[in-house]
Structure 1
Amino acid sequence: MEPRESTNQMNQQVTKSVSCETTLKLLDHVQEALLVLDGSKIAYANKKAKEFFGECEGTDLFELLILEKGTLLVDVIHSDGLEGNLEFEDKVFSGKKGGWIHFHITYVKQLSAIILRDITQERILQEAKDNMSVLVAHELKNPLSVLLSTISEMIEDEDDEENLRKLLAVEKQALRLKRIVEQIEYITMAQLGLYTPKPVFINVKRLLDSVLDDIIELAQKKSITIEKQISIDTLVADEFIIRTILRNLISNAVKYSFENSRVIVKITQDYISVRDFGVGIPDEDIPKIFNRFYRTSTAVKMASGSGLGLAVVKHLANIADYRIEVKSQRMIGTEFIVYLR
């Protein structure tokens, strides 16, 4: 081997070694725990991972990670069918911390690596908010019932036409508030896994008209026509779930439609469709729109919102075993289809 060639190879090896050492040092400063696998053995664990699990290099992954929900990760790592990354949340037992820790877990198949982000505090805060929501909803129900009962008696006794009109307007808003309180309670219960669907016979036209009562003012401000295409009289389903799905999808459609356009609401025995003629959703954003608090850059510019509406729709659809399809074209519009069977 020529001296120059030998020197070049040595330089490349030194450079590679220094680069690798620098990378490992950087990985020790990230806030997520990182495990790199060789088969099912842990070949590398960064500093954060060792804070949770101790010195674990050389340990079998499935002896180290005790998951509350079972074998999803085991099945995926031993399978060749996964395309892209796997992301999920689960509690993992940490012997070093002496308890269960709630992680957002990402398995990056291409790198054979697992990234664990501690979301325990986020979950504690969310549970506190959920519990507060249930408490507030519960405390508001009784005063509202008394208020509605009193208004109903006043309406029966009122002879003056102008006063009667005002009382009916107050009753309408009180009923709307009652629905909002019920929705807060039911949504919170659903998020806590405490809500079980209760199928009933729903008068579809009456339900849709009730939903539109809450949205029509915004639609009128933007000169948006809402077209109703209903092919059935009744639907057997959970009324709260159907109402909430319709309200969120139609409200979003109106918010993100162009002025002087239309929103088409179609309800059949097999599916619900809400179609708008608005800004549309970029292809790269469609997989993320059901994430809590996620809003596209276009949505942020066009209308205010919490970023929770579609997350609620997805959550309730999962509870009812419905499937959601999204079709969208930029600057042409979006259609959400909820398959009921």
Structure 2
Amino acid sequence: MVGLESDMADEAAEAKQSSVGGFFARLAAGRMLLIGLAGILALLVFTEAATLTSAALIFFSVALMLGALPLAVASSADRPSIRRLAQRAPPSVWPETSLKRMADALPEPCIILDRRGYVRYQNRLAENAFPIRPGDPLTFRLRAPDLVAAYERVAAGGRAERLEFAERVPTERWYDAWFAPVEAREGEGRGGFVILLFSDKTEQRRSEKIRVDFVANASHELRTPLASLAGFIETLQGPARDDAAARQRFLGIMHEQATRMSRLIDDLLSLSRIEMKAHMRPEAPVDLVPVLSGVVAAMEPLAREQQVAIESALTEAPVIVAGDRDELVQVFQNLVENACKYGRSGGRVLVEMTPPAGEEGPRVTVRDFGPGISAEHLPRLTERFYRASEGGGSTRGTGLGLAIVKHILNRHRARLLIESQPGQGAAFSVEFPAQRRAPDFDQSVKSEK
């Protein structure tokens, strides 16, 4: 329907251009008559003939020439010069319906440009990926210098070109762009166009990066526990072969190291899966109240082991956000687990929620009352494998928990805020964006309760 309305608007514009061209053609055809009329008027003015006879002569001359003008135009319509003048209307800058339908049928984002760089049509996929309105220059949305240079070469008559470029906002994405000229058909008064076709390579590029990072991280972090296991095995096979007490102690340390390696691999795989989907924002409606209630209940055994009491201050009304429920559970489990382990000296952990208000979205804070974290550590807490030495005692994690939290929240367009002072505990707050429209609160969400 949008395409047909656009076609009607294009045809109306062309009709207007044709009518203007026809007027100028008729004016050119009757130019001799107009010149004659101007000569008669000039003669009467210079001879100062202002009598009644002169006025009558002027009246009959004008009437005669105006009556003869259509005849002169009709008789001269077959002349080649007049036909060329009538056909000299500006070419259309809007694509035909068939070209638009071709763009709509493509499985990739497609934009149709004229030879001046203005967008003349885009399919639905292009609207979602690169919001830009028809009539705007391409550079309003895509400003990569290599992309603009490739378009200019193709628009100037060059061959089709392909190049890669990256979009950094709102998330990093990679594309293959293909420029191809579409020439006007012979005999048409229409200008040519340039087709811009995109192919999303984000997932492929992320897979390559994740594979390289996984190998580098795993080889680096697994080296220490593997060396420890190898040393204990050699000791048990040699000097401690018959020492039952040493064997029991070494086996316990080996079990701890093997468990740590297992957790490390699980966290690396989890981080890799999250990074694969970083450019895809989740849209399912999730109620935060049952999510947080479930996390608090699930972390009770760990809290008892660490001799910590978990307190919660949640709202009774549903608080709906757009997100992935499993990933949000993982976020709050990591935050509560860290609070129990590293803030256990405070004896309690508080999970509280602030409902949305005005332009601000909901906020969830996990607060411990332990030793706190020094200011120099706060900016680096979400880095991979970074561990602050304060407050942890003998507890050691993989150093990936907060990195996973950060990547999940980036995917949800949420923010992680960390506030802490030595001796006053630490507060990790998750701020969700305000909902412009409430997600559908369907039966699947209600069933989570």
- Give me the TM-score of the superposition, normalised by structure 2: 0.35
Q: Which protein is bigger by CA-based radius of gyration?
A: 2
